[in-house]
Structure 1
Amino acid sequence: MNLDLTGKTALVCGSTQGIGKATAIELALLGANVTLVARNEEKLRETVEELDHSSGQLHRYVVADFSNHENVKEAIENYLRLCPDVHILVNNTGGPSGGPIIEAETEQFIRTFQMHVVNNQFLAQSVVPSMKKAGFGRIVNIISTSVKQPIIGLGVSNTIRGAVSSWSKTLSLELGQFGITSNNVLPGFTKTSRLDAVLEMRSLSSGKSKEETAEQMQASIPIRRFSEAEEVAAAVAFLCSPAAASISGINLPVDGGKTESM
């Protein structure tokens, strides 16, 4: 099985913590040159130092705030002037705060759509030309199992994640002829700061402790535990590899079997 990414350059968003960071680490271990993208420069510097360099990889970082599209646009355009060849794009942006969809403000939908769909579209448009030139491209979007089974209390997130899924499927249909795949990885309950926020929200609404809430949530997962960020990253890395060349346009849950749909 060919998992070798030597000579390939990966742009990984939201890569200073959680699944994004775990993905950057995994791609570097497969030989890729990794460019981290996040808003905290101190954490970016620290994370770059953690990436594997044993195959002579050259790792970089870009400071960009995904809540500000113009900032993302300027930062990525500046980066691509210096480093125009990108073979792998991992879109990974934190989700919005929870709550019933009927209570969500219009501005929350607009802001979240811009953070996820608009930024993803800009990034894809920016890197696809170099992917076409290389005859190799991988776009992987880390979204949520909510695209298969909406999650109660995450109304805005459910809506926007679904939009990203449809966007990605459309890309797969348009770009496959150029050796470019587009897929979505759908994490379930994964040990990240996002899970901590969900636990806090559910604990407050139920009146139960976070520990009790966590136990109940884990009991609903067939493997009876939360996933590790590294387990999700392994799925992302495989989809980025040469071995996954015929896999495109899919939604891949990494959720311990919790999603009940096929």
Structure 2
Amino acid sequence: MNLDLTGKTALVCGSTQGIGRASAVELALLGTNVVLMARNEEKLQETISGLDTSRGQAHRYIVADFAEASAVSDAISKHLASYPDMHILINNTGGPAGGPLIDAQADAFVQTFHNHLLNNQALVQAVVPAMKKAGYGRIVNIISTSVKQPIVGLGVSNTIRGAVAQWSKTLSLEIAQFGITVNNVLPGYTRTARLDSVLSMRAKSTGKTEEEVTTQMQQEIPTGRFVEPEEVGAAVAFLCTPAAASINGINVPVDGGRTGSL
């Protein structure tokens, strides 16, 4: 099985914590030159210092805030002007605040649409020319199991994540001919800061303790535990390898079997 990514370059968004960081670590271990993208430069420097360099990898970072209009597009364009090679793109950014759909205001949808779908589109448009030139491309979008089964209490997120999944599937049909695949990884309940906020929100809304909510949520998972970020990162990294060349346009849940659909 060819899992070697030596000489390949990957842009990993939201890569200073959680799933983004775990994905960057796994890609580096396979030989990838990793370009981190996040808004906190101090955390970027800390993360980059921990990435594997045993195969001579050259890691870099880009400072950009996904919440700022045009910031991501401008940042990647500037980077590519100096370092034009790009083979892998991991689209990943934090989700919006939770809450019932009926209570959501219009600007919450607009901001979330920008943070996720429009930033993804800008990044794809920036890096696909380099992927076409190389004859090798992997685009992996970190979304959510909500694209298969909506999650109660995450109304805005459910809505926009679904739009990103449709965008991704459409893109996969358009650019596969150039040796570029597009897939989605759907994390379940994963031990990240995002999960901490969900636990807190559910505890407040139900009057239960966070420990009680944790037990209840874990009972919904056939494996009986939350997913670790490294397990999601491993799935992301595999989809980027030569071995995964014919895996295209799919959703891959990494959720311990919780999602109730095929």
Shorter-chain TM-score: which interval? over 0.9
What's the counterpart of residue 40 of structure 2? 40
What's the counterpart of residue 220 of structure 1? 220
Deviation at 1:71, TM superposition (A): 1.5
**For 1:160-189, what per-residue CA distance to the aligned partner results, in whole angstroms no more than 9, with x for missing partners?**
000110011011100110000000000000
Distance in 1 of aligned mates of 2:157 and 2:58: 35
Aligned length: 262
Deviation at 1:85, TM superposition (A): 1.1
What's the counterpart of residue 169 of structure 1? 169
Distance in 2 of aligned mates of 1:78 and 1:26: 26
Secondary structure of 1:247 counterpart = coil
Equivalent residues in 2 for 1:100-139 (5 A)? 100-139=100-139
Distance in 2 of aligned mates of 1:231 and 1:167: 25
1:120 partner letter: N
Secondary structure of 1:189 counterpart = coil
2:212 partner letter: E
Distance in 2 of aligned mates of 1:181 and 1:258: 26
Secondary structure of 1:89 counterpart = strand
Secondary structure of 1:194 counterpart = helix
Query: What is the aligned-residue RMSD (CA, Å)?
Result: 0.5
Distance in 1 of aligned mates of 2:256 and 2:61: 32
Distance in 1 of aligned mates of 2:128 and 2:69: 19
What's the counterpart of residue 50 of structure 1? 50
**For 1:186-221, what per-residue CA distance to the aligned partner results, in whole angstroms no more than 9, with x for missing partners?**
000000000000000000001111011001100110
Distance in 1 of aligned mates of 2:200 and 2:260: 24
What's the counterpart of residue 242 of structure 2? 242
2:193 partner letter: S
What's the counterpart of residue 141 of structure 1? 141
Distance in 1 of aligned mates of 2:216 and 2:132: 47
Secondary structure of 1:69 counterpart = coil
Q: Give the TM-score, by structure 1 length.
A: 0.99
Deviation at 1:70, TM superposition (A): 1.6
1:2 partner letter: N
Distance in 2 of aligned mates of 1:58 and 1:155: 40
- The answer to whether the aligner puts 1:15 opposite 2:7 as a matched pair is no
- The answer to whether the aligner puts 1:151 opposite 2:162 as a matched pair is no
What's the counterpart of residue 191 of structure 1? 191
Distance in 1 of aligned mates of 2:189 and 2:219: 12
Deviation at 1:84, TM superposition (A): 1.0
Deviation at 1:69, TM superposition (A): 2.6
Q: Which runs of 5+ in 2 are unaligned?
A: none
1:234 partner letter: A
1:200 partner letter: S
Distance in 2 of aligned mates of 1:142 and 1:70: 21
**For 1:1-54, what per-residue CA distance to the aligned partner results, in whole angstroms no more than 9, with x for missing partners?**
000000000000000000000000000000000000000000000000000000
